[in-house]
Amino acid sequence: MGRASAFAERLGLPVRDLALLEQALIHSSWLHEHRDSARGHNERLEFLGDSVVNLAISEALYARHPDDDEGMLSARRAAIVSSTGLARLATRLDLGAHLLVGEGEAARGARRRPSLLGQAFEAVAGALYVDLGWSRTRDWVVALAAPEIEAEASIVSLTSPKSRLQEWTQRTTGERPQYRVLEALGPDHDKLFRIEVRVADEVLGRGEGASRRVAETQAAAEALDALALREHAAEAARAAEAAEASP
């Protein structure tokens, strides 16, 4: 229970059922290699935690943004509870360092994979809900996601990275982003995809995930970051030229 105890301290909550919390930290790949070492993996807790997290975030967004319509609230929630969004919350807890994953998964960087981190975060939320009840679990989720809940983001910034990248390419080049699978590793039930995205025959981003959609979303997000850096650099160069040209 040492791993669960250490993680419970990091959570800052009065966890009572350490065995349940430990189960939330066990990926199915680890249990496959250590069949008699635990009572189960975290997928059932993930199922429960998915609903817990969605309700907690929905309730908080409804209260925090009274002027938003259903579409805007849905976009805000989707940005927070997506694989990438939940992985961000998991990273704040250093959740990846506490996960038990199989050797093969660990070698493929599972502890940094957004989809796996998001699923583990949901499993932890499920375990806390069973152990501590709704109020404490809700307050914990909301406090952890406070920066995203409080953000006054525009609907454009909440749109999926793939949609934003396609809008940019259609506006600037008239072309569509091209996604290419670099690798598809692992068995059919537990694939890891690595994908790159090209714009005008230039690789702008790469991503990985348990599905093509997740990997493509990561690649698109990396491409948007690269384009934003270029835009900032171009603006800085223009400003420098203007300063040199001024008397």
> 208 by DSSP, 3-state: which?
strand
Q: Is the backbone of residue 40 left (phi > 0), alpha (psi -120 to 50) or beta?
A: left
* Tokens 């406070």, located at residue: 146
The residue annotated as part of the active site, out of 105, 122, 148, 208, is 122
Q: What distance in Å separates the CA atoms of residue 101 and residue 185, rounded to the nearest whole number?
A: 16
Is 103 a residue of the active site?
Answer: no
Which whole-number Å values give the CA distances from 26 to 11, 19, 83, in the listed order?
17, 11, 18
* Tokens 């989809």, located at residue: 115
The residue annotated as part of the active site, out of 50, 148, 196, 222, is 50
Is 50 a residue of the active site?
Answer: yes
Tokens representing residue 81 in the block:
């509870």
Name the packing angle between helices 114-132 and 134-144 (round to 10°). Answer: 150
- Buried-exposed string 180-217: b where 16+ CB fall within 10 A, e elsewhere: eeeeeeeeeebebbbbbbbbeeeebbbbbbbeeebbbb
Taking the CA atoms of 137, 141, 143 and 149 in sequence, report the sign of the dihedral they define: negative
- The DSSP bridge pattern shows strands 202-209 and 178-185 to be unpaired
Catalytic residues: 50, 122
